[in-house]
A and B are shown apart, each in its own frame.
Chain A
Amino acid sequence: MMFDLFIQGIQMLVVLLLAPLLTGLVRRVKARLLRRRGPSIIQPYRDLFRLMRKEAVLADNASWLFRIAPYWIFATTWVAASLVPTFATGLIFSWAADLIVIVALLGSARFFLALAGLDIGTSFGGLGSSREVMIASLAEPALIMVVFTVAMIAGSTQLSTVSTFMLSPEVGLRVSLGLALVALIIVAVAENSRLPVDNPSTHLEVTMIHEAMILEYSGRHLAVIEIASSLNLLLYVSLISSIFFPWGLADANAAPIDLLTGLVFYVFKLVLSGCLLATFETSIAKMRVFRVPQFIGTALMMALLAALLMFVTRSL
């Protein structure tokens, strides 16, 4: 019992500590690919500590919502991220690690972020919120369809069951899985404000989405939001790897040494996906905002198709 709680605590700490590292890695690899030196890989931690120490400036007309939103966003994202199996399945809270719960947690975080963007009443915030909601209205159905597809294949929406099923040989080759993977990657790119949808490395652009919403935040509020968005990226990476590439996950009653190997595998997966993301981002240009619905619509279409194709497989 104590050991199980300890492992779950480790998982929560691991996601929290690794999240800024992943962001730093992506930035660093991107800079190297552009033949710049780039900031150090631990720069996000320094930024966070710096922001924590700074004074938080609030607009005069900011309501209580504006002040609690960062913490709410951070809390929901952290809970969601620590529910996803990262290095081990069958943790003590894995009964709660339901895909639909995770989607709901992320949805509520996004809702509060959009509200916070609207709260101050600046034009930039409202613009960012409306765009964020436009993207979410397409990305969320796609995510739900992916969840349904995966649940139809694995027979459960619980993530540890899904991961265990995906490791077993009875999965076979399936078109639906491939389609769901592509759809989930597109959703992840859109939800993390990565490049074809939004440019994560700018504060001064008319087309920005995420940065426009958090433009009014400063100090510790900004720090909390920044770490929440790092956590979000980490969450999507672990979600994709736990559903589609669950190799190296320690199972329910694993010895500590297995847990350690699981952790090594997990870090390896993070590094790999960070490099892939950076390569992807450097090789494409940002889309016009009005083309974004088409891009995410593709994800929705693929996810729908994946769910439909499930009906002609041998299992159903």
Chain B
Amino acid sequence: MINEALSYDVAHILAGGMLLVSFMLLYQDRMYGLLNIFALHAFVLSLSVAWEAYVNHSPHLYVTAVIALVLKAIIIPTALHRIVQRLGIHRTVETTVGIGATMLVGIGLVALSMALMLPVTDAADPLARQDLAFALSIILLGLLMMVTRRNAVGQVVGLMSIENGLILAAAGANGMPLVVEISVAFSVLVAFMVIGIFLFRIRERFDTVDVHVLDSFRGERR
């Protein structure tokens, strides 16, 4: 059997890699690049969950990993590719708040989540502990991404990356029932469809998917 240290290190690398990919999502400002990195994010998630299943001998986590792989690393990115193509925004470069500032805020959020998580989970198993800390940072980074993106597709990707973070937390906490897992996965899929339809509606109405138009439509001033 593999030893403790190695299993911990691999889990650490995978979860840390996910966090890094989250930063890449924040950094990326091209449409297709964003979608490809999102697929990578989900792929690393599924690897991480599969490793968790392997070391903890919990076969139901394999199901989670497969769901993450098929649904989020293959189906949703492909569908988003299609949407982007049909909306004709594949050449759009997203204008975000400013990469440097976003990155610094991101680092701050990671520091915050570590400062928050580590004292709270002092007694927990180290594997679960680091997974929780990473998951919280990934969730916060996803939120940050939703805040800083102007383009609706970017916000969708932010939402999906939050969901990835949640799955990581659930896998690390060693026991989300399979039913919950499957229902979460499918509700995300449903949400994705709704958002997809919503995107086309926004475009029909405003001829753009830049959500700032919504602000002016509501009469808000910037």
Q: Determine if A174 and B9 form an interchain contact, defined as CB atoms under 8 angstroms apart.
A: yes
Mark contacts of B7-26 with chain A using CB atoms, 8 A cut-off: 1 yes-contact digit, 0 otherwise.
01110110011011001000
Q: Which of A90-98, A198-206, A303-311 has 4 or more CB atoms under 8 Å from chain B?
A: A303-311
Q: Determine if B100 and A305 form an interchain contact, defined as CB atoms under 8 angstroms apart.
A: no
How many A-B contacts at CB < 8 Å in the complex? 56
Q: Determine if A301 and B9 form an interchain contact, defined as CB atoms under 8 angstroms apart.
A: no
Tell me the smallest distance from the CB of B117 to a CB of chain A, in Å.
8
Q: Please judge, given known A-B contacts A173-B9, A301-B23, whether A311 and B103 are in contact too, CB under 8 Å.
A: no
- For A304, the chain B residues whose CB sits under 8 A away are 107
- For A309, the chain B residues whose CB sits under 8 A away are 16, 19
Q: Determine if B100 and A173 form an interchain contact, defined as CB atoms under 8 angstroms apart.
A: no
Q: Determine if B8 and A305 form an interchain contact, defined as CB atoms under 8 angstroms apart.
A: no
Tell me the smallest distance from the CB of A174 to a CB of chain B, in Å.
7
- For A305, the chain B residues whose CB sits under 8 A away are 19-20, 23, 107, 110
Q: Determine if B5 and A172 form an interchain contact, defined as CB atoms under 8 angstroms apart.
A: yes
Q: Does B41 sit within 8 A of A, measured CB to CB?
A: no
Mark contacts of A146-177 with chain B using CB atoms, 8 A cut-off: 1 yes-contact digit, 0 otherwise.
00000000000000000000000000111110
Whose C-beta in chain B lies nearest to the C-beta of A173? B9
Within 8 A of B (CB), among A273-316: 293-294, 297-298, 301, 304-305, 308-309, 311-314
- For B100, the chain A residues whose CB sits under 8 A away are 293-294, 297
Q: Does B74 sit within 8 A of A, measured CB to CB?
A: no
Q: Determine if B114 and A174 form an interchain contact, defined as CB atoms under 8 angstroms apart.
A: no
Q: Determine if A308 and B114 form an interchain contact, defined as CB atoms under 8 angstroms apart.
A: yes
Q: Determine if B107 and A311 form an interchain contact, defined as CB atoms under 8 angstroms apart.
A: no
- Whole-angstrom CA separation of A298 from B106 in the bound complex: 12
Q: Does A189 sit within 8 A of B, measured CB to CB?
A: no
Whose C-beta in chain A lies nearest to the C-beta of B129? A312
- For B126, the chain A residues whose CB sits under 8 A away are 314
- For A312, the chain B residues whose CB sits under 8 A away are 12, 114, 118, 129-130, 133-134
Whose C-beta in chain B lies nearest to the C-beta of A309? B16
Q: Determine if B13 and A301 form an interchain contact, defined as CB atoms under 8 angstroms apart.
A: no
Q: Please judge, given known A-B contacts A172-B5, A172-B6, A314-B8, whether A308 and B13 are in contact too, CB under 8 Å.
A: no
Q: Does B178 sit within 8 A of A, measured CB to CB?
A: no
Q: Please judge, given known A-B contacts A297-B103, A301-B103, A312-B134, whether A174 and B118 are in contact too, CB under 8 Å.
A: no
Q: Does B99 sit within 8 A of A, measured CB to CB?
A: yes
Besides A175-B20, A294-B100, A297-B103, 5 more A-B contacts (Cβ < 8 Å) are A173-B6, A305-B19, A312-B12, A312-B133, A313-B12
* 6 CB-based A-B contacts, threshold 8 Å: A173-B9, A175-B12, A297-B99, A301-B103, A312-B114, A314-B5
Residues of chain A whose beta carbon lies under 8 Å from any beta carbon of chain B: 172-176, 178-179, 293-294, 297-298, 301, 304-305, 308-309, 311-314
